[in-house]
């Protein structure tokens, strides 16, 4: 019987078990398609034996009462398998890769434990196959801070343009491609649209990876040649990444269906909500929000990775996610808070003569604080028209950053030559990437364990 973590266990113990963020890597499997996101290693948790029996598949849409009869989230996922299986050499290859890397499975499922209940619940609401909940395993190893070389971001790996197509807001203050609620909703909406387009989940998955236009062209090419148009018949026309995409998902699906068959253990993930959403209509500093919730900053960021700056700009659609018990603490502590919730305001640069040093003096801070808050590299000067974060002074105390400012703010800068003059210019547009996102520290992961040990250092993927 699997042991469960008592709710009374200290957060510090959980931090020690799971932080820092783990490495997404294919180790020495250089013959496999590279994974685009590289993460830092995570100590290996000692997992209990997984004893849940394999269940026969049910229709994807489960009655709510049936869903909650499952002992854990893995059982709900198995119950809703509905995509036809693929069985070929690529599937066998990827199953073998995962089966021989139990540390990788342990680290990835530890991260997934924060998010899986929500993803599975959303799939069931829509009547979609529940094995789609495993897709972030392939896309990002369940890291919402994942960023690919093609600038695809988040757990579901949206590129900027596709993210905007599905109303994922990307501005100077947040990137909803990383947000758990918004990105999951967008990904499932997109996948359903692709299924409606192709009438086949395997082709829908290929289109999610390769693009719907590319899949349509491949279908037309096979049709013209009198050939079948199913996934395996089109595979030779696909790039290697897409050709391996569905087999990778099938490999993970096979392992989740019966982990003991492959000598693996899966952690028990309670079939209960892990987090709840809290509305925030006024500005609040990220560190203050974490403090009020009695979480570390890394814990807070693990559930709220979409916020890019030190301040969370409030609004009608602004929500922060907190573990359920911490949400109660947040409300209680907020009711007793007597200080400013946010110590930041904005300032628009109107002249190139406004140096970072002069701004630091004006707003009673240091140049380094301004650079860090606005992701401005060293040896750079701000360009006129930039809107930057600055510490609040008496004139701005109590005021919030306006929605129009947040939506339209940009930070433009150019490098400074040794002679003090400007060199080539660089611009961070409101929807572009800034500096590298901090790692996710997966504290309070919802897995059962009785001990923890250090995992070996993983080589980053190319």
Looking at 124, 139, 176, 299, which residue is catalytic? Answer: 139
Token pair in block for residue 201: 């989940």
| Three-class DSSP category at 346 | strand
203 alpha-carbon distance from chain centroid: 24
Task: Give the gyration radius of the chain's Cα atoms.
Answer: 24
Going by DSSP bridges, is the β-strand pair 422-428/387-391 parallel, antiparallel, or unpaired?
unpaired
- Which neighbouring-strand residues pair with 391? 344
Give Cβ neighbours of residue 441 (< 8 Å, ≥ 6 apart).
15, 18, 19, 20, 21, 296, 298, 299, 301, 302
Rounded-to-integer distance, Cα 271 and Cα 72, Å? 4
Query: Which segments of 319-378 does DSSP mark as H helices, in order?
Result: 324-335, 356-362, 367-374
Query: Is residue 139 among the annotated active site residues?
Result: yes
Give Cβ neighbours of residue 217 (< 8 Å, ≥ 6 apart).
none
| CB-side neighbour CA atoms (13 Å) of 383 | 15
**Residue keyed to tokens 């009547």:** 127
Write down how long the chain is.
462
Rounded-to-integer distance, Cα 63 and Cα 78, Å? 15
Rounded-to-integer distance, Cα 110 and Cα 240, Å? 29
For CA atoms 85, 88, 94, 95, the dihedral sign is positive
Rounded-to-integer distance, Cα 193 and Cα 211, Å? 12
Rounded-to-integer distance, Cα 313 and Cα 291, Å? 17
Query: Which segments of 148-239 does DSSP mark as H helices, in order?
Result: 160-165, 180-198, 201-210, 212-224, 231-234
268, 205, 254, 257: which is closest to 97 by C-alpha?
254
Residues involved in catalysis: 139
């Amino acid at each position: 019987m699997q042991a469960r973590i008592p709710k009374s266990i200290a957060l510090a113990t959980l931090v020690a078990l799971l932080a820092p963020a783990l490495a997404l890597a294919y180790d020495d499997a250089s013959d496999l398609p590279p994974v685009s996101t590289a993460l830092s290693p995570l100590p290996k948790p000692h997992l209990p034996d997984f004893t849940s029996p394999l269940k026969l598949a049910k229709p994807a849409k489960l009655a709510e009462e049936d869903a909650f009869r499952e002992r854990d989230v893995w059982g709900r996922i198995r119950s809703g398998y509905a995509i036809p299986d693929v069985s070929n050499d690529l599937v066998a290859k990827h199953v073998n890769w995962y089966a021989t890397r139990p540390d990788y499975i342990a680290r990835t499922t530890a991260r997934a434990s924060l998010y899986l209940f929500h993803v599975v619940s959303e799939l069931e609401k829509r009547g979609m196959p529940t094995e789609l909940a495993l897709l972030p395993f392939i896309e990002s190893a369940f890291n919402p801070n994942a960023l690919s070389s093609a600038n695809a971001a988040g757990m579901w790996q949206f590129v900027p343009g596709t993210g905007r197509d599905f109303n994922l807001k990307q501005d100077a203050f947040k990137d909803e491609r990383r947000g758990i609620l918004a990105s999951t909703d967008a990904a499932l909406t997109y996948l359903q649209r692709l299924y409606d387009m192709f009438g086949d989940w395997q082709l829908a998955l290929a289109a999610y990876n390769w693009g719907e236009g590319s899949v349509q062209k491949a279908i037309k090419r096979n049709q013209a040649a009198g050939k079948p148009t199913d996934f395996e018949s089109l595979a030779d026309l696909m790039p290697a990444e897409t050709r391996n995409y569905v087999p990778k998902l099938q490999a993970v699906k096979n392992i989740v269906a019966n982990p003991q068959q492959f000598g693996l253990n899966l952690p028990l993930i309670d079939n209960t909500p892990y987090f709840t959403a809290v509305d925030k209509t006024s500005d609040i500093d990220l560190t203050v929000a974490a403090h009020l919730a009695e979480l570390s900053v890394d814990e807070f960021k693990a559930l709220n990775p979409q916020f890019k700056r030190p301040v969370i700009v409030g609004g009608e659609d602004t929500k922060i996610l907190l573990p359920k018990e911490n949400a109660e603490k947040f409300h209680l502590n907020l009711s007793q808070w007597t200080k400013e919730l946010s110590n930041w305001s904005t300032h628009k640069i109107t002249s190139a003569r406004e140096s970072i040093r002069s701004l630091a003096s004006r707003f009673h801070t240091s140049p380094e604080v301004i650079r860090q808050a606005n992701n401005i590299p060293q040896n750079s000067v701000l360009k006129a028209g930039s809107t930057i974060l600055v510490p609040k002074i008496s004139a701005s105390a109590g005021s919030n950053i306006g929605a129009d400012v947040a939506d339209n703010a940009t930070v433009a800068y150019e490098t400074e030559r040794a002679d003090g003059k400007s060199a080539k210019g660089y611009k961070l547009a409101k929807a572009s990437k800034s500096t590298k996102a901090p790692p996710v520290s997966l504290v309070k992961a919802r897995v059962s364990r009785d001990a923890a040990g250090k995992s070996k250092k993983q080589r980053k993927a190319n």
